[in-house]
Amino acid sequence: MIALGPWSNDLLSKLNCKLPMAYERGYRQHFSSTTEQPLSRPVHDVDGSYVLTPMEQGYRITSGVELKERDAPPSPNQLEAVIPSARQAFPLGQPLDKPWLGRRPTLPDALPAIGEVKQCPGLWLATGHHHIGFSTGPATGQLIAQLMSEQDTDIAPQAFSPNRFF
Ligand SMILES: Cc1cc2nc3c(=O)[nH]c(=O)nc-3n(C[C@H](O)[C@H](O)[C@H](O)COP(=O)(O)OP(=O)(O)OC[C@H]3O[C@@H](n4cnc5c(N)ncnc54)[C@H](O)[C@@H]3O)c2cc1C
């Protein structure tokens, strides 16, 4: 079973079963606080186009989506663009780390690929969870286990079949 998120095609391309996967990249960076009265909740500044979240690591500021090749060099332009605006509204101090870059593995219909590949019997996929893999991973784990052990499934599996791409 291949469950390699954004790296799934590295292996699938060797098996001639490449998925039409795109990469929605996102950045985050942590900042110290300049006040002893810390922010108590996450804030989404819609006009400013950022989310600021108080974390143990400091104030975390996150960017929007960047559509680019998976391994293209980091370009945290969106993050750099919103930091001045966040500084006007919140007590952001110094950066505590460099911008972190993550990649979301996204398929054209925004559904994951979960199940056995017909053209390659014995090859199972659980990948392509785009923005919501933390939340939906447990359901995927349960579904793939039920499919592999030929049990009734709690979720209808058809919409997630990898065979929609092959
Ligand atoms: C910026 C950002 C914000 C996100 N926010 C949320 C959110 O708020 N809520 C939410 O539900 N989801 C969120 N996600 C999405 C979530 O992170 C993914 O959907 C989820 O991580 C996918 O899980 P996965 O196990 O399929 O892949 P991954 O978590 O990417 O795991 C794949 C693993 O495969 C490993 N790997 C790669 N190649 C090899 C190899 N050759 N051999 C062995 N191992 C290998 C990698 O090291 C990695 O550990 C976010 C993603 C990003 C990037």
Q: What is the pLDDT of residue 163?
A: 97
- What pLDDT score was predicted for residue 35? 82
Task: Say if residue 27 is in the same domain as residue 77.
Answer: yes
Task: Point out the domain boundary residue: 54, 87, 105.
Answer: 105
pLDDT of 39 reads 87
Task: List beta partners, residue 95.
Answer: 31
Residues of the chain with confidence (pLDDT) below 50: none
Q: How far is the CA of 3 from the centre of ligand 1 (A)?
A: 9
Helix H, strand E, coil C: the string for 26-79 is EEEEEEEECCCCCCCCCEEECCCCEEEEEECCEEEEECCCEECCCCCCCCCHHH
Segment 81-85 long-range contacts (CB within 8 Å, at least 24 positions apart): 81/49, 82/48, 82/49, 82/50, 83/29, 85/45, 85/48, 85/49, 85/50
Reported pTM:
0.92
Same domain, 9 and 30: no
The reply to whether 79 and 64 lie within a common domain is: yes
- What residues pair up with 105 in beta bridges, in sequence order? 23
Q: Is the Cα torsion angle 47, 39, 55, 127 positive or negative in sign?
A: negative
Question: Could you read off the pLDDT of 47-84 as tens digits, one per residue?
Answer: 999 999 999 989 999 989 999 999 999 999 999 999 99
Ligand 1 near 134 CB (within 6 A): yes
Q: What is the pLDDT of residue 37?
A: 76
- Nearest of 88, 91, 94, 133 to residue 110 by alpha carbon: 133
pLDDT of residue 120: 92
Whether residue 32 is found in the same domain as residue 95: yes
Do 9 and 80 share a structural domain? no
8 Å CB contact between 154 and 144: no
> Looking at the structure, do residues 17 and 28 belong to the same domain, yes or no?
no
Q: Are residues 66 and 137 in the same domain?
A: no
| 27 and 83 both lie in a single domain | yes
Domain hosting residue 115, numbered range: 5-21+109-165
Same domain? 76 vs 99: yes
Q: What is the CATH number of the domain that holds 65?
A: 3.30.9.10
Residue finishing a domain among 53, 71, 105: 105
Rounded Cα distance between 32 and 87, Å, is 12
Number of domains in the chain: 2
pLDDT recorded at residue 158? 97
pLDDT of residue 3: 97
Q: Which residues, 6 or more positions from 18, have their beta carbon under 8 angstroms from its beta carbon?
A: 9, 12
CA of 57 to the centre of ligand 1 (A): 20
Q: Which atom of ligand 1 is nearest to the CA of 5?
A: 27
Ligand 1 centroid, distance to 5 Cα (angstroms): 5
Which of 21, 25, 104, 160 to probe ligand 1 with, by most ligand atoms within 8 A of CB? 104
Q: Are residues 64 and 17 in the same domain?
A: no
Domain-terminating residue out of 85, 105, 125:
105
Token readout for 142 is 């349960």
